[in-house]
């Protein structure tokens, strides 16, 4: 079988995490604790997850000309991700999240989006050839909304389906001009409610979103699994029971694996189950990109679960 051809456009960040006993107060210095550097950014997480789940991925992201940008390039290449249309931003910093965590798990996070904020529609126009011959476009919302809209419009013009993970949700929700271009939407519960604030129930919120463009809405609900809504049917896909140690990146893994399975023409229920398996596995290891499972691991896990059923 030839691999699904996916185009992913989105952010790259590096999480710099200090795990200490206490969080500093303003003006205070706290010494001690351990430092860990963890590759993140929703776009990059999804690109890595999709490549490992079996897709041929082209990733468009903006990187600064610093060491973190260089590290990111090398990691994408190691995962077999095509970065021919990557956007270099001379003089800018690659996106960084500074994260401090105390002994109880409480955290403080400061994000400097850097190059991610400078990924313009013009950059995407220059990358237009990357849209040809792909079977699906996957995006999230950690890059400027006008760029997401340009890519959505261009994909629509080419007849390329769009899978949108609407995270993080902008304060005003999403414009109808964008929702109209989306075939598959993967909000979590909070994001779905932000899209239809007046809807009294999850079902009503999903119905409202379905009436505005998407054919499929898959609402992820952590350990409670996922609810799937289409014009024809509504069904629940449970989360797989695993010993989760870190759920960072689980939503990104879910979206990416769902995209892979849908392009492979897996029936919707099977595709969501495949995504749930990949996402469950991603929670069993620390970190986001480090924890994305291989195709082989996902298939082995699904087989083991089928035997257990």
Residues of this chain that interact with ligand ADP (CB under 6 A) are: 167, 188, 220-223, 225-226, 239-240, 242, 244, 247, 250-251, 254, 276, 279-280, 283
| 33 versus 222: smaller Cβ distance to ligand ADP | 222
Report the residue number whose CB is nearest to ligand ADP. Answer: 251
Active site residue 252: yes
Q: Shortest gap between Cβ of 164 and ligand ADP (angstroms)?
A: 13
User: C-beta of 53: minimal distance to ligand ADP in Å?
Assistant: 13
- For ligand ADP, give the closer residue by CB, 64 or 166: 166
Q: According to the 3-state scheme, what is the secondary structure of the chain?
A: CCCCEEEEECCCEEEEEEECCCCCCCCCCCCCCEEEEEEECHHHHHHHHHHHCCCEEEEECEEECCHHHHHHHHHHHHCCCECCCCEEECCCCCEEEEEEECCCCCEEEEEECHHHHHCCHHHHHHCHHHHCCCCEEEECCCCCHHHHHHHHHHHHHHCCCEEECCCCCCCCCCCHHHHCCCCEECCEHHHHHHHCCCCCCHHHHHHHHHCCCCCEEEEECHHHCEEEEECCCEEEECCCCCCCCCCCCHHHHHHHHHHHHHHCCCCHHHHHHHHHHHHHHHCCCCCCHHHCCCHHHHHHHHHHHHHHC
Query: Which residue is catalytic, options 102, 252, 270, 309?
Result: 252
What is the smallest separation between the CB atom of 242 and ligand ADP, expressed in angstroms?
5
Q: Which is nearer to ligand ADP, 143 or 239 (CB)?
A: 239
- In the complex with ligand ADP, which residue's Cβ is closer, 131 or 254? 254
Report in angstroms how near the CB of residue 135 gets to ligand ADP at its nearest: 23
The residue among 3 and 193 lying less far from ligand ADP, judged by its C-beta, is 193
What is the smallest separation between the CB atom of 238 and ligand ADP, expressed in angstroms? 8
Catalytic (active-site) positions:
252
């Amino acid at each position: 079988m030839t691999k699904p051809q996916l185009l992913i456009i989105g952010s790259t960040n590096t999480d710099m995490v200090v795990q200490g006993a206490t969080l500093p107060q303003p003006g205070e210095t706290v010494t001690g604790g351990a430092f860990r550097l963890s590759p993140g950014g929703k776009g990059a997480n999804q690109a890595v997850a999709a490549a490992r789940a079996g897709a041929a991925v082209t990733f468009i992201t903006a990187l600064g000309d610093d060491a973190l940008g260089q590290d990111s390039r090398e990691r994408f290449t190691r995962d077999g991700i095509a970065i021919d249309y990557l956007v270099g931003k001379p003089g800018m910093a690659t996106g960084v999240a500074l994260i401090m965590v105390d002994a109880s798990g409480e955290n403080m996070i400061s994000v400097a989006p850097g190059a991610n904020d400078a990924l313009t529609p013009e950059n995407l126009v220059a990358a237009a050839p990357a849209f040809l011959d792909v079977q699906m476009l996957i995006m999230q919302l950690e890059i400027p909304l006008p760029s997401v809209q340009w890519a959505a419009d261009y994909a629509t013009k080419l007849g390329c389906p769009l899978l949108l993970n609407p995270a993080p949700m902008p304060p005003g929700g999403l414009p109808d001009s964008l929702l109209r271009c989306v075939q598959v939407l993967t909000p979590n519960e909070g994001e779905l409610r932000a899209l239809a604030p007046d809807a009294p129930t999850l079902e009503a919120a999903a119905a409202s979103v379905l009436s505005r463009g998407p054919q499929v809405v898959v609402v992820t609900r952590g350990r409670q699994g996922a609810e799937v809504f289409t014009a024809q049917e509504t069904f629940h896909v449970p989360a797989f029971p695993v010993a989760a140690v870190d759920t960072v990146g689980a939503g990104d893994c879910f979206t990416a694996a769902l995209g892979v399975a849908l392009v492979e023409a897996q029936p919707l229920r099977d595709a969501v189950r495949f995504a749930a398996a990949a996402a469950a596995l991603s929670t069993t290891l620390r970190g986001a990109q480090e924890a994305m499972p291989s195709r082989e691991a996902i298939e082995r896990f699904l087989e083991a679960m089928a035997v257990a059923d």
